[in-house]
Structure 1
Amino acid sequence: MPWETIDAPAGVTPPAPLKVRAQSIPARHFFPEHSHQWHQMVYAISGALTVISEAGSLVISPEHAVWLPTGLRHRVGSLLGAEFRSLWIADDTGGALSAGGPRVFAVSPLLNALIVEATDIEGQADDDGYAGRITHLILDQLRRARPLPAALPWPRDGALAVLCEALYTDPANERGPEEWGQALGMSARTLARHFAAETGMSLRSWRRRMRLFRAIELLGGGMGVTRTAMELGYGSTSAFVYAFRLEMGSSPQVYMRCRHDELAGRASP
């Protein structure tokens, strides 16, 4: 199934110093390649985003955001659909994230709550300065953000992108390198070499990280632990819980409960 483009917003004006945009991205839709004369923070409050730029390609879960510096050509989309939040930030207010190329960083519960609030009040009159205070708090959080290595690398185009899309859509797919190589017209060794060159990971390691991303996405959408384990292709719930604990340091139940409590606590007046 081909990807479809999303029209860019009309009448775009520079942020002064920050603008927030909210948009639902349907499955297999993307914004065509473009650049801005300002920084952009790419984030989804639900679902996962695919971000492709001159510097590389990756997928992020709602735990993370991507900082795209001024002038960087990029495109953003979602394989399975997402609730997209985009922050446009004036070129001179980026803080530590502005140095260098794109960055992945963790979205704290506070920053998440501030983005939700900024979205709700976008376009309203700021008679008492409340919107301005929210803006300053967001900028403070962004200045404190530190880059993380946590992201799911993604091939830019071609056969390997087809492979990753198929596995991400159906994480229970058990086909190995030999079968995938045959389907894509290359040997298992060639597939392994090209995959590592494009993503910096082996296919096995990539699959493990992909399942973690999908687990957070599915659990965050309200799916139970047992059904999530089955959707991801684990042989049992206990095997999934073990793998999740190994990567995240806690069970899926504890992780999601803590995340929910943090978000609820930050959002409470």
Structure 2
Amino acid sequence: MRNVPYERYDRVPRDVLPIGTDYEPGHVLEWHTHRRAQFLYSATGSMIAETDDGTWTVPSERAVLIPAGTRHRIRMLEASTRSLYLEPAAVPWWPAVCTVVEVTPLLRELLLVAVDFGPNYDLAGREGAIASLLLFEIAALTPLPLHVGLPSEPELAALCRDYLAHPEPGVTNADWARRLALSERGLVRRFRAELGTSPSAWRVRARLIAAVPLLREHAIARVAGDLGYASPAAFTAAFTRTFGVPPSALRGP
């Protein structure tokens, strides 16, 4: 099924419900939840998935696993998606929090085939076999650490969301402390209590996360400069140290 609302088919008696959707650049799926778990694959473009607890960046040809009942928002960056909506009982191994994963060539081809199934596809035939194989393939995927946590305290969370939208490299702890009418020590203490890291370390990771969708459109040298790195080599080293892969690996087709 393509470009149809998931809600129309939620109660179809199939554990795996494949839907393909094309979005306009910048389209935002505002805060919502699904009864089913969701495997959301970015066939083209990239996506940013946000929950109350954090933000996950999904490069082209990767996917995010969203648990059933999780409140989330998705920003589409020229994305065409292939989704699987999954009955929770069929995936007891599903992660408890959103997880970005690599997608294997086999899984990619299975997804492209599955979105052309009708809602009541034949469970006993080829389509049913593909649906079962999809679950086996998803269970074996490798997670990617393309995630940054968000504090639960509303004022801190708002500060972090603003920074993710505009990751200016010159921002300091003093700037944030003034915005919250706190001392720098008080800011750091509250931040560490919430996320187990310092505000400055969080901002470094947030800037690297923000680089992921930029890499699809711009050269590494430009992204490095925009995010405050002295050289492409320094940016590449920081990115690789944080995410385990060089920025070139996430640039997409």
- Is this contact kept in 1: 2:169–2:228, CA < 8 A? yes
Quote how far apart the aligned CAs of 1:184 are: 3.1
- Is this contact kept in 2: 1:171–1:233, CA < 8 A? no
Does residue 41 (structure 1) correspond to residue 36 (structure 2)? The answer is no
TM-score, normalised to structure 1's length?
Answer: 0.71
* Partner of residue 174 from structure 1, selected from 170, 180, 185: 170
Quote how far apart the aligned CAs of 1:223 are: 1.8
Quote how far apart the aligned CAs of 1:123 are: 3.5
Does residue 229 (structure 1) correspond to residue 229 (structure 2)? The answer is no
Aligned to 2:91: 94
Distance 1:197 1:79, change over 3 A: farther
State how far apart, in whole Å, the 1-side matches of 2:157 and 2:187 are: 12
AA matched with 2:28:
H
Quote how far apart the aligned CAs of 1:18 are: 1.0
- Is this contact kept in 2: 1:97–1:145, CA < 8 A? no
Structure 2: where are the runs of 5+ without partners? none
Does residue 118 (structure 1) correspond to residue 114 (structure 2)? The answer is yes
Distance 1:192 1:93, change over 3 A: same
Quote how far apart the aligned CAs of 1:26 are: 6.1
State how far apart, in whole Å, the 2-side matches of 1:205 and 1:112 are: 35
Distance 1:238 1:103, change over 3 A: closer
Deviates more, 1:181-190 or 1:110-119: 110-119
Aligned to 1:134: 130
Quote how far apart the aligned CAs of 1:177 are: 1.0
Quote how far apart the aligned CAs of 1:174 are: 1.2
State how far apart, in whole Å, the 2-side matches of 1:140 and 1:68 are: 17
State how far apart, in whole Å, the 2-side matches of 1:43 and 1:190 are: 41
Q: Secondary structure at the match of 1:223?
A: coil
- Give the aligned length: 242
Distance 1:67 1:145, change over 3 A: farther
Task: Quote the RMSD (CA, aligned, Å).
Answer: 3.5
Quote how far apart the aligned CAs of 1:88 are: 0.8
Aligned to 1:210: 206
Structure 1: where are the runs of 5+ without partners? 1-7, 261-269
TM-score, normalised to structure 2's length?
Answer: 0.75
Q: Secondary structure at the match of 2:38?
A: strand
Aligned to 1:51: 50
State how far apart, in whole Å, the 2-side matches of 1:150 and 1:88 are: 22
Aligned to 1:14: 11
AA matched with 1:235:
A
State how far apart, in whole Å, the 1-side matches of 2:129 and 2:15 are: 12
AA matched with 1:18:
V
Does residue 241 (structure 1) correspond to residue 236 (structure 2)? The answer is yes
Q: Secondary structure at the match of 1:164?
A: helix
- Is this contact kept in 1: 2:26–2:77, CA < 8 A? yes
State how far apart, in whole Å, the 2-side matches of 1:236 and 1:68 are: 39
What is the percent sequence identity of the aligned residues? Answer: 25
State how far apart, in whole Å, the 1-side matches of 2:26 and 2:167 are: 16
AA matched with 2:224:
A
Distance 1:184 1:12, change over 3 A: farther
State how far apart, in whole Å, the 2-side matches of 1:135 and 1:126 are: 10
What's the CA shift string for 1:39-66, capped at 9, x where partnerless?
223444433323325xx33323334523
